[in-house]
């Protein structure tokens, strides 16, 4: 099995090349089979690798020297261990379901664009696999950049819409800002340790000074804030909803945005060495949870609600990382991949049925038209709200328990975030699926349940969202039942969470579940009969405008930069650079017009010039003394 490791990323790459290069000649059916098939095979190989890793421990495959110069050797290697194989399963498994879903969702596109979509999607899976399978930080960075590129390409998939292009550009630039930090962190590592291979870095981590560790981890974390949409670089993710809905499910919910969590969990040895960084991460995480959750409760675009919900859930993961619950964070990545992909795909199903309508104020009562979508969406909502025994409960509870052990204030804020989560999810659910239909008569006429290619992935993900949490049942419920911790133990060696009395843990669980249930009941009671149809005022308007963060960024960063660029363009470029270039041309033209007067066309004047020139030459010779002395000898 370990000889097949390279096939896992190679197959999606092959799919990308075939679909991309032959997009004009392949039929939609062939594109679908190639696009989904390569991911399915990659998933099966990953499954085989999973059992092998479980039985025999990590596999490290080195293929060739990627960079080999004096004092620095970076091999091109893959490291398949518990953490990466888990991500590989999520990426290829959820990825496969989303590919299948896309074959139906994107079916109205023309064939070349259909193939372009699938080739980008395959390229994304390839880059993401490179990211999680790489055996050192550089391979991780290659994948890191690759997923950023694919995210850009897919957000701007409908490139005829200028707004979508701006959204794609925004995502790319915001990610680049984080990437600079990430790259600087890598350089720092190279400078101090001379290696980027995980094993060597972690073995030598003890040699680093406290300043080095804090600096490196903070810089790497800046990269994570960009990729995983944390404060202050989160504003690209809601705009990224411009892409097709399956893209939002795969890239902007399940996989790419969790790259930062993967990276920090992978580097847990470094992060646990710096208390400063851990505190920064925990504070950023909880702040993101609350900020995004408050925004989500006033959004009316079905995808925007889910986007802010994703930002908020990513905040939970970072809260978990910050309080040292690396297992909990990775666990939440997994369960979140299930239920958030489910919710996005469900939203896609709704949007599809509504004829590309995304405003939930124009929906309502879809329960009786779309039974499968409704049930699966409800299960997803319950999972994200943390209701037992759905998957979100176990992972969120693990993070909250660790937060309590670190600092009860974090726990209180986290529970408040969980209540907001339950509230906005059930506001969304009630407004969309309950009550009566508020759209046009035409839309009502066309309402229908989606085809099997859409409902089957929904059902698969719904099952995973329900049972996915059962592999990580906390010890307080059933001792030694947490298969998840056990599996990740070889990678996450530094998890240290203070033991709590069982009674406390039970109490925390009951309180957080009770808060979530109350929030759900309030939301259902409030929005089933009387959904919010008017533009919110006051505080609600402030939240609906996303705390005016975009406007703030525009005023503080974008507009000054544009003004500076305008200054360089209009003043420096136009008057300075262009002035010099045009001035040279004008000077040559002017001087040549003056010199041209010499060429009069009069033979006599030419001869005169010739004679004068000869006289001048003779005078020069005489001054040289040679002819002069010769002549003076004669006379």
Partner 1 sequence: MPIQYYIYLSLALFCIGIAGVLTRRNAIIIFMSVELMLNAVNLLLVAFSKMHHAVATAVDKVNNVGTDGQIFVFFVMVVAAAEVSVGLAIIVMMYRNAHSVDVNFLNRLKN
**Interface positions with partner 1 (CB under 8 A):** 599-604, 607-608, 611, 634-635
Query: Which residue lies nearer to partner 1 by CB, 582 or 591?
Result: 591
Q: DSSP letter string over 447-493? A: --PPPHHHHHHHHHHHHHHHHGGGGB--TTTSTT-BHHHHHHTTT--
Distance of CA 71 to the CA centre of its chain: 33
User: Nearer Cβ to partner 1, position 585 or 604?
Assistant: 604
CA distance 444 to 243: 25
> How far is the CA of 554 from the CAs of 181, 288, 560, in angstroms?
22, 20, 8
**Residues 6 or more apart in contact with residue 164 via CB below 8 angstroms:** 155, 156, 157, 158, 242, 243
Q: Which is nearer to partner 1, 64 or 635 (CB)?
A: 635
Residue nearer to partner 1 on the CB measure, 440 or 600: 600
Tell me the C-alpha distance between 273 and 75, whole Å.
26
Q: Name the residue among 355, 370, 343 with its Cα closest to residue 434.
A: 370
Distance CA 245, CA 352 (A): 10
Compute the least distance from the CB of residue 616 to partner 1, in Å.
15
Please, what is the minimum distance in Å from the beta carbon of residue 607 to partner 1? 6
Q: Which is nearer to partner 1, 581 or 607 (CB)?
A: 607
Shortest spacing between CB 172 and partner 1, in angstroms: 58
Which residue number, 592 or 602, has a Cβ lying nearer to partner 1? 602
Nearest approach, Cβ of 633 to partner 1 (angstroms)? 11
Q: In the complex, what is the shortest distance from the CB of residue 626 to partner 1, in angstroms, rounded to a whole number? A: 17
Asked whether the beta carbons of 124 and 256 are under 8 A apart, the reply is yes
Q: C-beta of 609: minimal distance to partner 1 in Å? A: 11
**Cα separation, 136 vs 146, whole angstroms:** 16
CA distances from 460 to 45, 93, 104, 245, 328 (A): 20, 10, 16, 18, 23
Closest to partner 1 by CB, 51 vs 609, is 609
Single out the residue of 159, 143, 347, 287 nearest to residue 227, CA to CA: 143
CB of 24 to partner 1, least distance (A): 58
C-alpha 466/C-alpha 87 separation (Å) is 19
Whole-number minimum distance, CB 625 to partner 1, in Å? 20
Residue with Cβ nearer partner 1 (539 or 631)? 631
């Amino acid at each position: 099995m370990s000889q097949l490791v390279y096939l896992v990323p190679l197959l999606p790459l092959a799919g990308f090349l075939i679909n991309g290069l032959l997009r004009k000649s392949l039929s939609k059916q062939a594109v679908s089979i190639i696009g989904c098939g390569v991911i399915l095979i990659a998933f099966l190989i990953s499954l085989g690798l999973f059992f092998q890793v479980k039985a025999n421990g990590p596999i490290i495959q080195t293929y060739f020297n990627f960079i080999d110069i004096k004092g620095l050797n970076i091999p091109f290697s893959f490291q398949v261990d518990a953490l990466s194989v888990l991500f590989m399963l999520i990426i290829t498994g959820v990825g496969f379901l989303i590919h299948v879903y896309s074959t139906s969702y994107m079916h109205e596109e023309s064939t070349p664009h259909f193939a372009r979509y699938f080739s980008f999607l395959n390229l994304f899976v390839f880059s993401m696999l490179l990211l999680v399978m790489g055996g050192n930080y550089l391979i991780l960075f290659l994948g890191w950049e690759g997923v950023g590129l694919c995210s850009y390409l897919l957000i701007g998939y409908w490139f005829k819409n200028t707004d979508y292009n701006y959204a794609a550009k925004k995502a790319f630039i915001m990610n680049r800002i984080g990437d600079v930090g990430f790259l600087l962190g890598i350089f720092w590592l190279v400078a101090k340790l001379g290696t980027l291979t995980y094993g060597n870095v972690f073995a030598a981590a003890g040699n680093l000074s406290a300043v080095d560790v804090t600096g490196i981890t903070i810089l790497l974390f800046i990269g994570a804030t960009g990729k995983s949409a944390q404060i202050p670089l989160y504003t690209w993710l809601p705009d990224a909803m411009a892409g097709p809905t399956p893209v939002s499910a795969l890239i902007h919910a399940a996989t790419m945005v969790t790259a930062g969590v993967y990276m920090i969990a992978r580097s847990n040895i470094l992060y646990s060495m710096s208390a400063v960084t851990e505190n920064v991460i925990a504070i950023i995480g909880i702040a993101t949870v609350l900020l995004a959750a408050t925004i989500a409760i006033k959004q009316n675009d079905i995808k925007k609600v889910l986007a802010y919900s994703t930002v908020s859930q990513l905040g939970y993961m970072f809260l978990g990382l910050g309080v040292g619950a690396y297992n909990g964070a990775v666990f939440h990545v997994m369960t979140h991949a299930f239920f958030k992909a489910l919710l996005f795909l469900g939203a896609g199903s709704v949007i599809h049925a509504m004829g590309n309508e995304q405003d939930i104020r124009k929906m309502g009562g879809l329960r009786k038209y779309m039974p499968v979508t409704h049930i699966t969406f409800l299960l997803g909502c319950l999972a994200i709200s943390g209701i037992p025994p759905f998957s979100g409960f176990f992972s969120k509870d693990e993070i909250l328990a660790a937060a309590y052990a670190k600092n009860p204030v974090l726990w209180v804020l986290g529970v408040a975030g969980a209540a907001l989560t339950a509230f906005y999810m059930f506001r969304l659910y009630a407004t969309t699926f309950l009550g009566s239909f508020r759209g046009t008569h035409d839309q009502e006429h066309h309402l229908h349940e989606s085809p099997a290619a859409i409902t089957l992935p929904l059902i698969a993900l719904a099952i995973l969202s329900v049972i996915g949490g059962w592999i990580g049942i906390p010890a307080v419920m059933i001792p030694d039942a947490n298969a998840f911790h056990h599996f990740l133990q070889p990678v996450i060696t530094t998890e240290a969470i203070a033991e709590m009395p069982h009674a406390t843990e039970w109490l925390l669980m009951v309180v957080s579940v009770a808060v979530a249930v109350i929030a759900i009941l309030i939301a259902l009671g409030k929005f089933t009969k009387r959904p919010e149809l008017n533009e919110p005022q006051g505080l609600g308007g402030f939240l609906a405008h996303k705390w005016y963060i975009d406007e703030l960024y525009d005023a503080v960063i974008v507009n000054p930069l544009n003004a500076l660029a305008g200054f360089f363009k209009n003043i420096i470029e136009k008057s300075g650079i262009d002035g010099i270039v045009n001035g040279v041309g004008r000077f040559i033209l002017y001087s040549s017009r003056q010199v041209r007067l010499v060429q009069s066309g009069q033979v006599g004047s030419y001869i005169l010039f010739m004679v004068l020139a000869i006289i001048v030459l003779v005078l020069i010779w005489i001054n040289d003394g040679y002819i002069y002395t010769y002549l003076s000898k004669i006379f």
